[in-house]
Structure 1
Amino acid sequence: MGLGKHKLSFIKCHAPTEGSDDQTKDKFYEELEMVLDTIPKDHCKLILGDLNAKIGKEQIFLGKHSLHYVSNNDGIRFINFCTSKGLFISSTDFERKNIQY
């Protein structure tokens, strides 16, 4: 998708749940990496979907507005993936109201 001179690529995905085995999670991230690697480097890459990852506030390189205080295992896996691919987790950069259901 083009937005003026900027090019955007969207990836929609649904990660395995926290209870899934490591082999299933590894396969998901390998496939996600393969898809990312096919996108031209000059495109802005947006990963959309349910990553089943709770991103905590303990990571100093993320934004300060995470919904969770501590990352779960899938959150750590997602943080490591994004860091290795030079991606920013935008959901940690926007302040939200504290809404409880």
Structure 2
Amino acid sequence: MMIKTEAQPTDLCAIEVYLPTTNSKDEEVAVVYEQIDDLMKLVKEKDNLSIISDFNASIGEENKGLWNGKFGLGKTNARGERLLDFCEQYEMIVTNTCFEMPKRRIYTWKSPTDGKMFQIDYILVKKKFMNQIKSSHSYPGYDIDSDHVLVIADYSSRFMKYKRTNQHRWFVKKLKEKQVAADMKELTDT
């Protein structure tokens, strides 16, 4: 699902995705990434984009370049590598790996069979908008009727007001000066 909100100076876009579980075939995952690629074609370069998703991928604790922080959980798996490749392709940051939090604020899914905790849900933003993210982490304790944990990001977006300039009036006023008027007349006569 994609929601696009018109705003100034840039539109806001949010994409919500659910990727197949680890029991699914890689071909099914590839199809979902193709669908995400199709949505990405609808997003303009200047749009402020967030992708919120259960990627069913683990990118781990290691910082693997510009696309994730060093505060993840666990080890990187093949689907995590695919997610990081996607982030590199579209210059997106995995926000909930960028802020140091206690482990209870990092995990996003608890296995119902053995109780192990994993980080598989992420919020991505375009790298150029990362400075608007003040915090991003999981929020255990909320009953959302799921084995997943709520994941949030605190945004702080300030859009600049455009100031109108009266430069055209300044030039008109200058034409009242004799020397400027003479120079302009000379330019137009040649």
Shift of 1:6: 3.7
Whether 1:29 and 2:33 are equivalent positions in the alignment is yes
- In structure 2, the partner of 1:87 is 92
Q: Which portions of structure 1, spanning 4 or more consecutive aligned residues, are displaced by more than 6 angstroms?
A: none
Alignment of 1:1-101 (within 5 A): 1-2=5-6, 5-61=9-65, 62-68=68-74, 70-99=75-104
2:71 partner amino acid: H
TM-score scaled to structure 1, two decimals?
Answer: 0.85
| Residues matched between the structures, number | 100
1:87 partner amino acid: M
Specify which structure has the bigger relative contact order, considering alpha-carbon pairs within 8 angstroms and separated by 6 or more residues: 1
- Secondary structure of 1:17's counterpart equals coil
Unaligned runs of 5+ in 1: none
RMSD over equivalenced CA pairs, Å = 1.9
1:20 partner amino acid: S
Shift of 1:2: 4.9
**Contact 1:18-1:73 at 8 Å conserved across structures:** no
Larger radius of gyration between Structure 1 and Structure 2: 2
- Secondary structure of 1:26's counterpart equals helix
TM-score scaled to structure 2, two decimals?
Answer: 0.48
Shift of 1:87: 1.2
Percent identity reads 26
Which structure carries more strand by proportion? Answer: 2
Shift of 1:94: 1.5
2:95 partner amino acid: S
